[in-house]
Amino acid sequence: MAELQPSGLAQVFMESRERLLRFLAARGAGEAAEDLLQELWERVSAAPAQPVAAPLGYLYRAAENLMRDRYRADTSRARREQDYVDATDAVVAEPGIERALLARERLRAVEAALSALGPRAEQVFRQYRLDGVGQADIARSLGVSLSTVEKDLQRAYRALGALRESDDAE
């Protein structure tokens, strides 16, 4: 089977790889220089073989264009993220008195529903959902079986589900 020979541009790329990498790093690519070089290689190797008058200059220009595209994309992404943060901060920062009162009332209802389950079920739910303790660890610390912990969690979920359904009905 015949081995494929790289195009002239691909050959120049392979011979100048280190120089291109230094070029990207010197222009501020930092840790992204390798990624940009890989992207450049993908473009060069996928391009149809056509003669290029100054292949090294072409590669430098293509690398610079990739950096510019990456910079624009990063800037645009950062701007979108900041706009999102600004928009959500404005909404979250001022919940309003009515909304805060409703949230406190709902919290009291959730606490009452959990309390009605008994101290162990309430403790299991709080440790698992709020403290992030694993079910097996909870079972060991309380001296109960894993099945008991699971059943307590199911009871808590059912109670909170019923509370949510009653809230939705109102």
Return the sign of the alpha-carbon dihedral for residues 130, 135, 140, 146.
Answer: positive
Section 58-84 average pLDDT: 88
Q: What is the pTM of this model?
A: 0.46
**How many CB atoms are located within 10 Å of the residue 88 CB?**
10
Using the predicted structure, report yes or no on whether residue 2 has a pLDDT greater than 80.
Answer: no
Which comes out higher in pLDDT, residue 131 or 51? 131
Contact assessment for residue 27 and residue 64, using Cβ atoms and an 8 Å cutoff: yes
Q: At 141, is the pLDDT very low, low, confident or very high (cuts 50, 70, 90)?
A: very high
User: Over pLDDT 70: what percentage of the chain?
Assistant: 91
* Residue 19 backbone class (left: φ over 0; alpha: ψ -120 to 50; beta: rest): alpha
